Amino acid sequence: MFIDIPSELETDLIDRPLPPWELDGSFLAQSSMEEYRTQLTVTPRFGEIATTLRHTLTGAGGGYVVLRLGNLAKALSGVRFRRLVTGFAAEVAVPFSPFPRWPLWKDIGVKVDKDPGKSSGIGYNAFHMDLVNGTLPPDYTTLLCVRSDSLGGGLSILSDAHAAVSRLPEASRALLAESAYHYGTFFDLFGVGEEYKPFPILDGTAPGEGFVRFTAKMLERSQLSPAHADAARELAEELVRGQVSFMLQPGDYLIVNQRRFLHGREALHSGQETVPINDRRLLLQLFLRARAGDGSAA
Mean pLDDT on 127-144 = 97
User: Based on the number of CB atoms within 10 Å of its own CB, is 198 exposed (0-12), middle (13-18) or buried (19 or more)?
Assistant: middle
Is residue 298 one of the residues assigned to a domain? no
pLDDT band at 296 (very low <50, low <70, confident <90, very high): low
Higher pLDDT, 292 or 56: 56
Q: 1 or 202: which carries more pLDDT confidence? A: 202
Does a structural domain hold residue 296?
Answer: no
The Cα 38–Cα 44 span in angstroms is: 13
CATH code, domain with 160: 3.60.130.10
Instruction: Report how far residue 188's alpha carbon sits from residue 18's, in angstroms, rounded to the nearest whole number.
Output: 31
* Total structural domains within the chain: 1
Q: Looking at the predicted structure, is the pLDDT value of residue 87 above 60?
A: yes
Domain-embedded: residue 217: yes
Quick check: is 273 in a domain?
yes
pLDDT of residue 160 exceeding 50, the answer is yes
* Of 99-103, 182-186, 239-243, 259-263, the least confident: 99-103
Domain membership flag for residue 136: yes
| Angle (CA) 21 25 29, round 5° | 35
Identity of residue 66: V
Higher pLDDT, 243 or 221: 243
Q: Which residues contact 251 (CB under 8 A, 6 or more apart)?
A: 68, 69, 70, 71, 72, 73, 74, 145
Across residues 195-219, what is the average pLDDT?
Answer: 91
How far apart are the C-alpha atoms of 200 and 178, rounded to whole Å?
Answer: 5
Range of the domain at 61: 2-291
Q: Please check whether residue 86 lies inside any domain of the structure.
A: yes
What's the mean pLDDT in 117-127? 94
Position 298 scores a pLDDT of 40
